[in-house]
Structure 1
Amino acid sequence: MSYTLGVDIGTFETKGVLVDASGAIIAQATRSHKMLVPQPGWAEHCAETDWWGDFVYVTKALLCDSQVNSEEIAAVACSAIGPCMLPVNAAGKPLMNGVLYGVDTRAAAQITELTERIGADLIMARCGNALTSQSVGPKILWLKQQRPEIYALTAKVLSATPYLTWKLTGDYVIDHYTAANFSPLYDVNKLAWTDDLAADILPLDRLPRLAWSTEIAGHVTAQAAQETGLAVGTPVTVGTIDAAAEAVSVGVKDPGEMMMMYGSTIFMIQLTALPVRDARMWYAPWLYPGQHASMAGLATSGTLTHWFRDQFARELGEGAFGVLAREAADSPKGAKGLLCLPYFSGERTPIHDPQAVGAFFGLNLTHSRGDLFRAVLEGIASGTAHVMEVCRALGTEPVRVLAVGGGTKNAVWMQATSDIGAVPQIVAENTIGASYGDAFLAAVAVGRVLPDEISVWNPVARVVQPVAEAVYARQYPLWKRLYSQSRDVAHELGGGA
């Protein structure tokens, strides 16, 4: 058995990869799906089709394309978007669509209720995080208050990766990194579920068993084997959230190293020697015992570029992003004085404002589509720089930033991120992302490699160096002021929607 298989469920696409013992890619497969937005502020997936259906499709494709005998696969690892909230019944059947991570802001009232009832300081001390749209606990309380008929039937509440693990093994298990996002139901000091802070949200026996990401959750069942083509008894790891697997994939392994993931959202993970507790960021135990992660994420990044393409370049078809990238490159840095607030689904870190709204400011009749698209990319880059500012203020400026994801192919976006944030970005040879990290974690789980050997699997390919630009030095402070000075208007607009 000389292969490992990794599958990652993203916001818009599922990717799978099969690798050999050296990390060489034997086969890849992808499948697209849609993020469902039934009303403003909501974001959902259908677990049975978007998560499990995609897993089955890409796994079969990998086996077919590679012609590898499934008996030769040493282990399987999954990752997925998260943290999500998926209630299932006693048979493990989803009772509704999966409620997605921080881009879903439906539980704003429950966040306020729990924070006021428990106290922000106590939540931070016990959970390591303030309650935000990223927190699963308030979303479970939303379920209880707004969908009591579903709550009454709920036997377990899962996130996306635990759902896949259950489908493969029949066991309900969740990694500590994901569980830390279930605040206020997870105690980061004890690494355990807790009902001390809010016993009324959910009985703890309705949550999955806790474990570390590279532990073996179970083995492929006969039913799962029949559906996927995997061999019965294949070890399945506990898995993790996609961003964590993505960080592993590009070589984040030591304190001070940060991943910058250019995906549907920008997500940053920095390993730290000690826990970093600050309400502007997120904290979680890392994938291995004794390690820590400080995290940040924007709400709309790749999602915003997709929106822009669909609204303003749909007629360009498959080549739309290439045309938009060239037009943005032709626009001068600073987009002729145009600012974009990228808060099209509210914002997560560092402002944690679900009522923040998107905006273009400074428009005049000379602006072109290319200027608008450059402003979008520079607006996202400004959001990233805002997080970097917080890291520096906390004394945790990263020593290495490793970039990954589809956005690394966009030179304007990458350079703007380095220029505005004043940070070099390292790009590894392989930028497949989380599914490749999953395959590596599967190899770690069965003793084929050590955790620090990822740099052998995936060496550095290039570095994007920052350039000091006067136009950004002038416009970035204005970009921050634009949010602070329009915040009240945005909230009143949202309140009347």
Structure 2
Amino acid sequence: MTTYSLGVDIGTFESKGVLVDESGAIVAQAARPHQMIVPQAGWAEHRPDEDWWGDFVHITKALLAGSGVDPKAIKAVATSAIGPCMLPVDADGAPLMNGVLYGVDTRAAKEIDDLNAELGEDAILEHSGNALTSQAVGPKILWFKRNHPELWAKTHKILTATSYLTFKLTDRFVIDHYTAPNSAPLYDIKAQTWSDALGSAICSLDMMPELMWSTEIAGTVTAKAAAETGLAEGTPVTCGTIDAAAEAVSVGTLDAGDMMMMYGSTIFIITVTESQLSDPRLWHAPWLFEGEYAAMAGLATSGTLTHWFRDQFAKELSKEEAFPVLAAEAANSPPGAKGLLCLPYFSGERTPIHDPMAKGAVFGLDLTHTRGDLYRAVIEGIAMGTRHVTETYAEAGQVPKRLLAVGGGTKNELWLQATSDLTGLDQIVCSVTTGASYGNAFLARLALGEVTKDDLPSWNPAARTVKAGRHEAYEAQYPLFKALYEQTKDIAHRLGDKA
């Protein structure tokens, strides 16, 4: 009998799921959109039951109905989600507020400053492997504790989006070692355990989920979860991980020197390393497999920025036709977008500048510029931000042996080519670009011992390579891109204070 693995990923704007057979072939796919809630500037949230668990239930039922697969033929389930998120739940596992999203949510800026002042930035980096930025969960827990004492009194556990899915499926509160360092300063990266050495003022350690490795089985589908989802009771469920890690697995980012670039709502980059790095401009964690390590980076807005541009400047077009039209118009604009520069910091910026108060800007406009020029400038601005990150990796001694591209943005040839041209790096695009949900399906099999890391290339072989070129316009503009940020950041911060 053919058997299957189920992989589901919860994204910023859309969730996706796949059923995959033992050869790696996708037999069914499903997706469900949702919105990112922005209650005020600098905040970003999801509704945990509607957007996380609701999407999982909807997608799982759709996959089973569409494929006709017997639920008992599904050998294991693996999930991932955007992260790191912060969700307080009570003793019954019920959410006490909306889930606070990853680095795009900058509400805990004061808490970051307070913790850095109290504990010392160097001490935090040494202990946790990560500087405190808008990506860190620890300051967001402190923000919640300070601003909602009545809810804090009811809080039993602090979960991530993936942790919440795993709880809903298995009744266990767990988190993987790859995700946990994002809870700085509550995680000791050397001992690979929770620690209150620096985080005692934030929360007690018993409020944090149990630590596991991503390929460990956390539990099995409960009777309640089976009734809600259509899955068979007793189906094994892995611990799960963050979406970017599952994306990386989906294209074979498994060994030291491999770099994954995820083109999604944000750009996210993972490089697998032989040893633990310590660079405050990057994020650091144990990799999915015990004894391996990873260094990460991310832009705050990328796909989100292209969607914003579409919604503001292509309103006469349907969402389906807007991007092809914009791409065609941008193709008529030369590299360098006729002298335009875009700072893509529309939700602040994460790596390498870690400036939640940074602002987006388009500089160099005159009356001859067109919508195509503007769209090209936006794409090139994201690519310049990406080059800033790859330069940071190089300065940390991590030049990739190979770069694997994945995510919805890989369908945007202009974006891919601009990124290769600006970074000087060739990009491998694999046959299956489904992303994290597909990586989860592989991780589910891996957790059962039915595949090894060496089997991934046969599941998802390389399809093409985007070759790096060089454009004089980019080489002239990139130093100006960095200078534009440096020379305008004080103004951006002052504008942010007024807002």
TM-score range with shorter-chain normalisation?
over 0.9
Aligned to 1:104: 105
Aligned to 2:297: 296
Aligned residue identity for 1:446 = L
The answer to whether 1:420 aligns with 2:422 is yes
Aligned residue identity for 1:364 = D
Q: Is the 8 A contact 1:166 1:172 kept in 2?
A: yes
Any idea what the Cα deviations from partners look like across 1:278-319, whole Å, max 9, x if unmatched?
010000001010000000000000000010010011220121
Equivalent of 1:319 in 321, 344, 351: 321
Aligned to 1:461: 463
The alignment's C-alpha RMSD in Å is 0.6
Q: Is the 8 A contact 1:77 1:238 kept in 2?
A: yes
Aligned residue identity for 2:401 = V
**2 CA distance for matches of 1:315 and 1:76?**
42
Any idea what the Cα deviations from partners look like across 1:265-284, whole Å, max 9, x if unmatched?
00000000011110100000
What TM-score do the two structures reach when normalised by structure 2? 0.99
Equivalent of 1:479 in 462, 478, 481: 481
Q: Is the 8 A contact 1:263 1:405 kept in 2?
A: yes
The answer to whether 1:118 aligns with 2:146 is no
Aligned to 2:390: 388
Aligned to 1:333: 335
**1 CA distance for matches of 2:201 and 2:391?**
38
Aligned to 1:411: 413
**1 CA distance for matches of 2:151 and 2:220?**
30
**1 CA distance for matches of 2:280 and 2:329?**
38
Aligned to 1:50: 51
Instruction: Please show how residues 178-197 of structure 1 align to structure 2 within 5 Å.
Output: 178-197=179-198
**Which SS does the other structure have where 2:381 is aligned?**
helix
Any idea what the Cα deviations from partners look like across 1:389-412, whole Å, max 9, x if unmatched?
111111111110000011111111
Q: Is the 8 A contact 1:253 1:452 kept in 2?
A: no
**Alignment coverage as a number of residue pairs:** 497
Aligned residue identity for 1:451 = K
**Alpha-carbon deviation of 1:69?**
0.1
**1 CA distance for matches of 2:303 and 2:110?**
27
**2 CA distance for matches of 1:451 and 1:314?**
45
Identity %: 65
**1 CA distance for matches of 2:453 and 2:58?**
29
**Alpha-carbon deviation of 1:452?**
2.7
Instruction: Please show how residues 66-465 of structure 1 align to structure 2 within 5 Å.
Output: 66-317=67-318, 318-465=320-467
Aligned residue identity for 1:53 = G
Aligned residue identity for 2:57 = V
**2 CA distance for matches of 1:455 and 1:268?**
20
Aligned residue identity for 2:392 = V
**2 CA distance for matches of 1:31 and 1:238?**
23
**1 CA distance for matches of 2:32 and 2:51?**
9
**Which SS does the other structure have where 1:347 is aligned?**
coil
Aligned residue identity for 1:482 = L
Aligned residue identity for 1:371 = D
**Which SS does the other structure have where 2:386 is aligned?**
helix
**Alpha-carbon deviation of 1:448?**
1.3
* Structure 2: gaps (5+ residues): none
**2 CA distance for matches of 1:469 and 1:305?**
23
**2 CA distance for matches of 1:161 and 1:249?**
17
Equivalent of 1:490 in 468, 479, 492: 492
Aligned residue identity for 2:109 = A
**2 CA distance for matches of 1:369 and 1:11?**
27
Aligned residue identity for 2:378 = V
